[in-house]
Structure 1
Amino acid sequence: MKFTLLALGVFMMAVIAAPAVAQTQPLVTEEMMVKTADPGIEIYVRNKRPADMKTFRPELTVLYVHGATYPSETAFDLKLDDLSWMEYIASRGYDVWLLDLRGYGKSTRPGEMADKPEANPPIVRGVTAVKDIGTAVDFILQRRNIPRLNLLGWSWGTTLMATYTTENAQKVERLVLYAPVWIRQTPSLVQTGPGPLGAYRMVNREQARERWYTGVADDKKAALIPPGWFDAWADATFATDPVGAQMTPPVVRAPNGVMQDSSEFFGAGKPYYDPAKITVPTLLVGAEWDHDAPPYMAQTLFPLLVNSPGKRYVALAEGTHSIIMERNRLKLFEAVQAFLDEARRS
C-alpha cells in the first residue's frame, strides 16, 4: 500500500508521566498519509510505540478513531499533565495508532468543503468512513505483518468501529467502544443549524464549551476540568482547520454525513449495524454525565451483543462524554487498559 511520510518524520521522545501512572518508557512517533482508493484522498495516521519494540503482535496493536466533530489527535494524543491517552497505552508495551477520517484533522478535506455548506449534500457518511477505517487497518496489518488488531472508537467512532467489526471480524482482536452510540431516545447535542443539512457544519469555541458541560450540575462544573485543559484542547483542535481558523469567530468544520446517518438510523429508531454480528470480546465504557451518548445507550446495546465472548460494560462516575480530558480520565484509561491486557495475559 502506498503512503507518504509527513515532514515531521520520525522522532524520539521520552514520556514523563504523572506520578499516578509512573511511566518513563521512551517512545517513537511516526506520522503518515495513506492513500485511499479514491483519487486525491489521503488519510492521516499517527503511530506511537516503545522505542525498543522489535516484534509486533495483534493483541498489542491498537487503532483509535474519533467522533463526529473533532479529529483524533487533539483528544487521544493531547498531553495533559505531560501525558496523553495514546502515550499511556504505548508506554505499556503497545503499538498504538490513531486515524483522522477524510474531512477531519490532517486528512484530505473533500472538495465540497471548499464550497458553501448549502451547496452540497452531507459528505463522509458512515459507509465512506468505514472504508477509511478499512484502509487504515489494512495498512497497519501489512506494515506490521500481523493478521488482526484491537479497535478503539469514541462516540461516532464506536458506530464505525462496530460496523467494521461486523464485516471484518477476522481482522479484529478486541473491540473497545468508548461512549457508545445507539438508538436515540433524547435529542442530539450536535448543532446543525436551520434548514436542510449541508455538506458540513461549523462549530465555534463557545458552542464546544457549552456542549461539553451539558448535564453537569452547577456545583460540579468547577472541578470537572482542571485549569487550562479546555483551552489546551480547544487551541489544538481549532488549529487543525486552517480555513475555519480564519473565520470570525474561528470554527472547526465537520462533515455532516454522520448527521444524515443519525437522522435515518439511530434518530429514527433503526440500528445502524447488527450487534449480534460482533463475535470478538467487546468493552462498552461510558460516564454517568454523558448527554451526547447517555448511559441508556450502552445499557440497551450491551444485551444485544449476544455473540461477543467476555463482553463487559463499565460505567464511570462523575464524567461527561469527554471524560478522556477531565479530572477522572485515568479511570477511563485504567478500565480500557485492563480489558486490553487480558488478551496479553491469555
Structure 2
Amino acid sequence: MTAITRKDFHVDCVDGVKVAIREVRPDGPADRVPMILLHGTRIPGLSEFDLNVPNGSLAADLAAKGHVVYILDARGFGRSERPAEMDEPPAPYAKSLARSIEITRDVDAAADHLIAATGQAKVGLLGWGVGGTIVAMYAALWPEKVSHIVPYMMIYGGASGHPEFHIGSKWDDPEHPGRFNKKDFGNYAWNGLELLDRHWNEQIPIADKDAWRDPAMFQAFRQALIDGDPKGAEMDPPMYRSPNGMLEDLYTMAARVETLFSATQVYCKVMIVRGEYDKLSRPADMEAFIDDLVNAEAVVYWNPPDTTHYILLDRPERGRDALLERMDEFLR
C-alpha cells in the first residue's frame, strides 16, 4: 500500500483572502496530473474528499495513483478565511457572500501554488455540484492552466424544469419572482446536520440505508462538518456556516435557466459524472453542457444506473469502485 502524506496550509488569493488547502500526496513518485478538489454549495472540502474511514478519501485514492492532490476550502467555508459578515447574524436582503466568480480566484491561487510545487504545466480539477460548475468556469477563464476537469453532479443552466429550484419555489423571491429569495435566506446560512441526513437518505432507494452506505462513513461526514466550523461546534445541536453565493448561483442556473459561463470556451479534457438518482444534476442539463463543449479536447459522460449523488462515499459496489476506475483511465 502506498504511504500518504498530508499537509495543511493557506494561500493568498489575488484579492488578499486566505484560503485553506490540504495537500495529500504519495511518499513515492508523483508524476501524474496534479489535482484540485473543490466542494459544493454548503459543505467544505474535507467532508467530501478526505474522511478518515475506509473508502472515505478520494484524495488518498488519487495520491496512491501518483497524483499530488489539493483539497480546497473556498472562501467562507471550512478552514478558510470567512467574511466579517459571517460573525454577525445572517442579514436579509444583503449581498450573497462568495459568489462562484469570486471562488474562481480561490481556485486560481490553488492552481498557481500546485503548478509551482510540482513543476507541472497544468492541473486537473474535480468539483462537486456547483463546485463542478466553478471548475468548468475556471477552465474557460484560464485554459492554459487546465488539462482535465471532472464536473461531478454539476449544474450548467441549460435546461428548465428543475424539480426544486424553480420560479415559485421557496428559493424564489415572492415579491419579485425570478430573483433569489434574499429576504428568507440572507447573505449566509447556518446549517443543521439534518440537511445531510435527509438528503443522503432520500437518495438511497432501499429501506436499509446501511446496506448502501457504511454507517461509519455517515458519522465521519457529520463529524467533519462539525469540526469544520469551531463556532458552530459550540452550539447545541452543532451547526455549521456556509456563504450563500453558490446557492444564489444555483438558483440562477436552475430557476432562471442562465449559464454562468459558456462551455464553448472549455478546451481541456472533460469527464462528466452524474448518478441516476441525483436530483440536482439532470440529464437534459448535461446534454446542453455537452452540446456547448464543442472545443473540448475530449468529452466523457458517465451516467451509471442505480447510483446516487454520493457515489464517492457510498459503498464500493454501489458505484465508487467503478467511478475510481473510470477516473483513473480518464486522467491517464
Which amino acid in 2 is paired with 1:139? H
Between 1:307-316 and 1:99-108, the stretch displaced more is 307-316
* Cα shift readout 1:237-275 (whole Å, capped 9, x = no counterpart): 222111112223221211001122233344201111111
Count of matched residue positions in the alignment of Structure 1 and Structure 2: 314
CA distance in 1, matches of 2:116, 2:164: 38
**TM-fit CA distance, 1:26:** 1.2
Confirm or deny: 8 A CA contact 2:130 2:250 kept in the other structure: no
2:54 is matched with which residue: 74, 81, 87?
Answer: 81
Give the structure 2 partner of residue 229 of structure 1: 217
CA distance in 1, matches of 2:192, 2:133: 25
Give the structure 1 partner of residue 150 of structure 2: 176
* Cα shift readout 1:101-135 (whole Å, capped 9, x = no counterpart): 01111111111100111264210001110111111
Confirm or deny: 8 A CA contact 1:214 1:291 kept in the other structure: no
CA distance in 1, matches of 2:252, 2:278: 23
Say which SS state the counterpart of residue 203 (structure 1) adopts: strand
Give the structure 2 partner of residue 272 of structure 1: 260
**TM-fit CA distance, 1:100:** 0.6
CA distance in 2, matches of 1:34, 1:191: 37
* Cα shift readout 1:279-316 (whole Å, capped 9, x = no counterpart): 11110011111112234432332232111122110112
**TM-fit CA distance, 1:70:** 0.6
Say which SS state the counterpart of residue 287 (structure 1) adopts: coil
TM-score by length of 1: 0.84
CA distance in 2, matches of 1:82, 1:158: 21
Confirm or deny: 8 A CA contact 2:132 2:155 kept in the other structure: yes
1:241 is matched with which residue: 221, 226, 229?
Answer: 229
1:100 is matched with which residue: 66, 70, 73?
Answer: 73
Confirm or deny: 8 A CA contact 2:14 2:105 kept in the other structure: no
CA distance in 2, matches of 1:132, 1:335: 27
Give the structure 1 partner of residue 191 of structure 2: 203
CA distance in 2, matches of 1:295, 1:85: 25
Q: Pick 1 or 2: higher relative contact order, CA cutoff 8 A, min separation 6.
A: 2
Where does the alignment leave 5 or more consecutive residues of structure 1 unmatched?
1-23, 342-346
Confirm or deny: 8 A CA contact 1:182 1:271 kept in the other structure: yes
Say which SS state the counterpart of residue 77 (structure 2) adopts: coil
Rate the CA distance shift 1:238–1:293 in 2: closer, same or farther, 3 A.
farther
Are residues 1:64 and 2:55 paired?
A: no
Are residues 1:331 and 2:318 paired?
A: no
Where does the alignment leave 5 or more consecutive residues of structure 2 unmatched?
172-180
**TM-fit CA distance, 1:82:** 6.0
Between 1:102-111 and 1:82-91, the stretch displaced more is 82-91
* Residues 1-346 of structure 1: pairs in structure 2 closer than 5 A: 24-39=1-16, 41-53=17-29, 57=31, 59-81=32-54, 84-118=57-91, 120-183=94-157, 185-188=161-164, 195-219=183-207, 221-327=209-315, 328=318, 329-341=320-332
Which amino acid in 1 is paired with 2:154? P
Confirm or deny: 8 A CA contact 1:121 1:197 kept in the other structure: no
CA distance in 1, matches of 2:170, 2:35: 31
Which amino acid in 1 is paired with 2:150? V
CA distance in 2, matches of 1:292, 1:202: 21
* Cα shift readout 1:186-213 (whole Å, capped 9, x = no counterpart): 2447987983431111221112211222
* Cα shift readout 1:64-121 (whole Å, capped 9, x = no counterpart): 1110111111221113326521111111111111111011111111111001112642
CA distance in 2, matches of 1:318, 1:265: 26
Runs of 4+ in 1 over 3 A off after TM superposition: 187-197, 218-222
Which amino acid in 1 is paired with 2:147? E
CA distance in 2, matches of 1:98, 1:224: 26
Say which SS state the counterpart of residue 323 (structure 1) adopts: coil
Rate the CA distance shift 1:179–1:264 in 2: closer, same or farther, 3 A.
closer
